[in-house]
């Protein structure tokens, strides 16, 4: 199993940088005062498709051979990765097949269709999704681009931290959310490759704490029926992301649902930017652990800003 190094993430960055948005790093005096530390928000909510996922998807697509590109890509996802892969494929003239559960919200179906992807609907079970994906791969020869269990995807996700540290190199701590672990893997490999003294922390909902348990016990332990408003963090670590996280991450902290919602609203109200619940976990970590973060310079990876305003969790 190949583990990404800083050079892999730098190579990914060279590959994707003309396709992605270089997102801003925002700060807030009010939030710095409130939590008595210096917060630097790396705003992937302003990334194309509204999430960091576009970095990984683009790197995966650009890393394919010409022969592979002719046959297209496939993934199963109903979230940000589906939209990201659809757009990355379209921008490179590649066919994208997305397997989605027939129960996926209409807004997500429309987003993926809007990027020109071919959608295959299936029953809302993991087995049905994997079967449908396999069938497409057999029929078309399309390359599977897994949302996080994929070396090139992970390297792409790590480029958000690369941009952050290129602009702000004196951070004490970097915090990223953890679901399947693609973002945290890429972030931690990048940060530790640049400076081992910078702490890397994963932020995870208490109600979907498979990464916390796996990290604490050393045994990969998937979630069973996770239930959190942070809908981007329902997935569990893979062998690959777990290996990278074990090597590079200092600790994983869990946060409560009410803190996630409170911190999401705080960012909306004070910073006037939309972040999704998954992104709010990083600020929730700061809020729930004041002693760990007081006086520190902290980079927060804000993973995305895709919120369904007709179904708010408060």
Report the interface residues with its own copies, using CB under 8 A.
Answer: 45-46, 50, 265, 268-269, 272-275, 305, 307, 309-310, 312, 314
Active site residue 53: yes
Active site residue 48: no
* Residue nearer to its own copies on the CB measure, 28 or 140: 28
Q: Is residue 201 classed as helix, strand or coil in its secondary structure? A: strand
Residue 163's closest CA among 2, 1, 10, 5? 10
| Least distance to its own copies, CB of residue 153, Å | 23
Given the residues 42, 48, 63, 78, the one annotated as active site: 78
Given the residues 42, 48, 53, 287, the one annotated as active site: 53
84 within 8 A of 54, measured Cβ to Cβ: yes
* Residue nearer to its own copies on the CB measure, 46 or 212: 46
* Residue nearer to its own copies on the CB measure, 7 or 110: 110
| Least distance to its own copies, CB of residue 193, Å | 29
CA atoms within 13 A on the CB side of 31: 26
| Least distance to its own copies, CB of residue 279, Å | 11
* Residue nearer to its own copies on the CB measure, 2 or 314: 314
What are the b/e assignments for 15-46, b being 16+ CB within 10 Å? Answer: bbeebbeebeebebeebeeebebbbbbbbbbb
| Least distance to its own copies, CB of residue 57, Å | 18
Residue 160's closest CA among 181, 205, 191? 191
Residue 215's closest CA among 192, 188, 247? 247
Angle at 205 (CA atoms; ends 203, 210), nearest 5 degrees: 90
Residues taking part in catalysis: 53, 78
């Amino acid at each position: 199993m190949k583990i990404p190094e800083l050079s892999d993430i730098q190579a990914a960055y060279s590959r994707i940088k003309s396709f992605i948005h270089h997102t801003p790093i925002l700060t807030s005096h009010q939030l710095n005062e409130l939590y008595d530390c210096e917060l630097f928000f790396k705003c992937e909510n302003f990334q194309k498709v509204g999430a960091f996922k576009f970095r990984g998807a683009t790197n995966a697509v650009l890393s394919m051979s010409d022969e592979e590109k002719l046959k297209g890509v496939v993934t199963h996802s109903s979230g940000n990765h589906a939209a990201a892969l659809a757009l990355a494929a379209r921008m490179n003239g590649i066919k994208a097949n997305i397997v989605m559960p027939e129960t996926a919200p209409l807004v997500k179906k429309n987003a993926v269709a809007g990027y020109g992807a071919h959608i295959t609907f299936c029953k809302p079970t993991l087995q049905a999704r994997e079967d449908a994906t396999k069938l497409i791969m057999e029929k078309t020869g399309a390359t599977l681009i897994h949302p996080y269990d994929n070396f090139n995807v992970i390297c792409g996700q790590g480029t958000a931290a690369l941009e952050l540290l290129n602009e702000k190199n004196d951070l004490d701590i970097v915090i990223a959310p953890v679901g399947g672990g693609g973002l945290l893997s890429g972030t931690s490999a990048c940060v530790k490759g640049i400076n081992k003294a910078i702490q890397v922390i994963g932020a995870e909902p208490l109600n979907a704490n498979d990464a916390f348990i796996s990290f604490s016990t050393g045994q990969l332990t998937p979630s069973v029926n996770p239930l959190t408003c942070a809908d981007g963090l329902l997935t569990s670590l893979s062998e690959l992301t777990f290996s990278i996280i074990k090597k590079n991450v200092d600790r994983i902290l869990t946060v409560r649902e009410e803190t996630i919602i409170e911190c999401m609203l705080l960012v909306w109200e004070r910073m006037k930017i939309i972040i999704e619940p998954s992104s709010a976990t990083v600020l929730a970590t700061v809020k729930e652990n004041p002693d760990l973060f007081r006086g520190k310079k902290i980079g927060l990876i804000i993973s995305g800003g895709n919120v369904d305003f007709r179904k708010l969790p408060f």
